[in-house]
Structure 1
Amino acid sequence: MPNDAPTGHPDTRLIVVRGNSGSGKSTVARRLRLGHGRGCALVEQDHLRRVVLRERDLPGGLAPDLIAQVVRFALDHRYHVILEGILFTGHYAPMLAGLWRAHRGGSWCFYLDVDFDETVRRHGGRPQRDEFTAEDMRGWYRRLDLLGFAGERVVAQESTVDETVALIAAVTGLPQDGCDEDVHVRRP
């Protein structure tokens, strides 16, 4: 269900990190959040879809609406948000476009462009390597599944994790001081 109500504040940041399975999205998103410290929410598509809802990623699923609600909640409470996931354009573009339009602060989207063979190689070193196969990954793989948003950036597979985190932090202005002081949230 679309929600076009404004969300967030002029000083909140919405950072979307997308890409195929094994492209490094989770690693980059977690490092960004860790580098910022408190006041930055990490919203992981897989956790909400697979763990909370135990839902397959099919058209008409509940995951896009749940993701949008969680993102809005965090933004409305003055948290920056890093949303990461495959977020297939076919299933998630309307939800992402709605968040993009509704967010009062800055919004950025980064697509980690990693070729299929490299995603399989990287998957071999992940803790979840036994949860799905290279053939499963082939079925999910979409080459440059871009949203077409103004300013959407493609990050090449040659970019290291450190370089990618530094790029996203620089482009978005997300501080990376690792500050862990208490967050004082102002209720709207």
Structure 2
Amino acid sequence: MVGTPDTRLVVLRGNSASGKSSVAAGLRERFGRGLALVGQDHLRRVVLRERDRPDGANIGLIDTVARYALDAGYHVVVEGILSAGHYGPMLAGLRADHRGPTHHYYLDVPLAETLVRHATKPIAREVSEDALASWYRPLDLLAEEVESVIGSASALDDTVERILRETGLSSPDLRRITDP
């Protein structure tokens, strides 16, 4: 078992350029100290410099970092593409072991909008539209049907507010737990 009955685990998944990192940053900004961000891109690309593949080392590292932060009393946001096929079993195990509430969100952005958003990012110089389109998986939902789908019509602030409210992270009581 991991975390406490009061810790919150939030999983943000979706295709590239769906807004996961922006939502995670918004949650951190609104919540403040006591909320750990566990980003797939950072751990996979920066820490390990690993390609995304089944049974990649980053899968275990994401799991370990999330568990460590939950055990240390932090609320945790795990964010990334986190394809269901590669990351689903790890996310299911983390959810099963977490003592507190776990909330899953899938940010659903159509391919056309994904390509428009991608063009504004620095990585667009390295990753072509064709490559991005080949990675795109429409509604790559987890088999357990635990995710709330948030469509592209939801503005960033509305999405952040919704997740804060639904997870209980908007409660002043949860801030006192992690930021005395």
TM range (shorter): over 0.9
Instruction: Quote how far apart the aligned CAs of 1:78 are.
Output: 0.4
Structure 2 equivalent of residue 51 of structure 1: 46
Moved more, 165-174 or 71-80: 165-174
Instruction: State the secondary structure of the residue aligned to 1:47.
Output: helix
1:41 paired residue among 25, 36, 48:
36
The C-alpha deviation readout for 1:6-30, integer Å capped at 9, x for no partner, is: 0000000000000000111100111
RMSD: 1.7
For 2:144 and 2:163, the matched residues in 1 are separated by 16
- The residue type equivalent to 1:42 in the other structure is L
The C-alpha deviation readout for 1:83-130, integer Å capped at 9, x for no partner, is: 100000110001000000000000000000001010010111223321
Structure 2 equivalent of residue 141 of structure 1: 136
1:124 paired residue among 115, 119, 128:
119
Q: Which runs of 5+ in 1 are unaligned?
A: 1-5
Structure 1 equivalent of residue 148 of structure 2: 153
Structure 2 equivalent of residue 175 of structure 1: 170
Instruction: Quote how far apart the aligned CAs of 1:150 are.
Output: 4.8
- The residue type equivalent to 2:139 in the other structure is L
Structure 1 equivalent of residue 65 of structure 2: 70
Task: State TM-score, norm by structure 1.
Answer: 0.89
Task: State TM-score, norm by structure 2.
Answer: 0.93
For 1:176 and 1:52, the matched residues in 2 are separated by 33
Q: Which runs of 5+ in 2 are unaligned?
A: none
Question: Which has a greater percent of helix?
Answer: 2
- The residue type equivalent to 2:45 in the other structure is R
- The residue type equivalent to 2:127 in the other structure is F
